[in-house]
Homo-oligomer: A and B are copies of this chain.
Amino acid sequence: MHRRTLLRPDGRALHLYARAPLPDDLSADGLLLAPPRAGSHLRWHPLRGEWVVYATHRQDRTFLPSAAANPLAPMHDPALPTEVPAGPWEIAAFDNRFPALSTGGGEAPELPVPTRPGDGACEVVVFGQDPTASLGSLPLAQIELLFEVWGDRTRELGARPEIQYVFPFENRGVEVGVTLNHPHGQIYAYPFVPPIPARALALQAEHWAANGRGLVEDLIQEERDAGTRLLYESPEAVAWMPVFARYAYEVWVAPTRAVPTLADLLPAERTAFARALKTVLLKYDGLWGTPFPYLLVFHQAPTDGRPHPEAHLHIELYPPLRMPGRLKYLAGTEIGAGVFTADTLPEEKAAELRAVPVTLA
């Protein structure tokens, strides 16, 4: 992997990645700049025990621009600045123009609840140069490179002292609020371990202490033994619908080894992980013959400087549709009480996805 880092006049970093060496003349000159902004701050929610981020400059962010104004396309016309230059890069990562979190951005107000500045980082990851592609349609080698980029970002962001958790994700589809169609994801780097991974890590640590084995390792073994919910299997990686799936088409993807973070994947594991993920995404799009919306989130070990033998890197995919065109709404019981009600059984939905033929390029 080759990487070139450029700095914009607005102070935002831009990292360009490719498998081949990158030319020397790549430049950030004339690229899109961020507007001046106030920093964000955090307020403590005392009945949920979690931080809430207030980033008021985000209210006016870009919303489904026309193709001509696609800010994630390589810039070819100085009159239409974008976020990334022309050139032979394959993947780009850069500081979000409207970051929910950024270190040194601002001060927190004094309030009846604890507050703190919204330190951290928010990056955009452009998956490729073709605005009509999707993550699942990318060549395997490009998805492998993307795993390397995610690992590089995890290493670099995680090394910053104020950052305790690096969280790459992709929101796909207008159903989940996507504002730009160009294939891309985001990375949030938090100054704390967020509540959902924190809870998962605590439960994994309990399992580790009780059994001397990883919880996700055990779940994977059980799925391999059962077989009925598996969507992809190799010695290095698996994809499966968990027996406790909350969304109709929820799928998890993981290396079989208890790899703690994206930065710790071995080359053969990246290859298998890419194949497993591409298999799932092609099955999604093939299921109803239409682009399948989803949230894709990574769970990995915190970068808090402590060892995390309990952590097991994996992807969780949450598709919002339960039937063609029919959303699973999160309403009273899910949002208010935290109890998901599924209308379908994982076994039936796994069988549907298993039946979708996939050919990996």
Contacts and interface: CB of A to CB of B under 8 A. Distances in A.
Contacts of A186: 332
A26 interface: no
Contact of A177 (B44, B47, B111, B329): B329
Interface in A174-189: 176-177, 186, 188
A145 to B, nearest CB: 21
Contacts of A279: none
Nearest to A201: B47
A332 B188 contact: yes
A159 interface: no
B344 A59 contact: yes
Nearest to A333: B188
Contact of A56 (B195, B246, B345): B345
A141 interface: no
B244 A113 contact: yes
A244 B327 CA distance: 29
Q: What is the total number of copies of this protein in its complex?
A: 2
Contacts of A44: 244
Nearest to A198: B338
Interface string A312-337: 00001010001100010111110111
Interface residues of A, number: 75
Contacts of A54: 342, 344-345
Interface string A38-56: 0000011111111111111
A200 to B, nearest CB: 4
A58 B333 contact: no
A337 B100 CA distance: 14
Chief secondary structure at chain A's binding surface = mixed
A171 interface: yes
Contacts of A215: 46-47
A194 B339 contact: yes
A299 to B, nearest CB: 8
A201 to B, nearest CB: 9
A232 interface: no
A188 B46 contact: no
A160 interface: no
Contacts of A226: 112
B113 A243 contact: yes
A56 to B, nearest CB: 6
**A165, A171, A226, A339: which has the most chain B beta carbons within 10 Å?**
A339
5 contacts: A46-B203, A47-B299, A54-B342, A112-B223, A194-B338
Given A56-B345, A195-B338, 11 more contacts: A48-B199, A50-B339, A112-B219, A167-B336, A167-B337, A169-B332, A169-B337, A171-B329, A194-B339, A196-B336, A199-B338
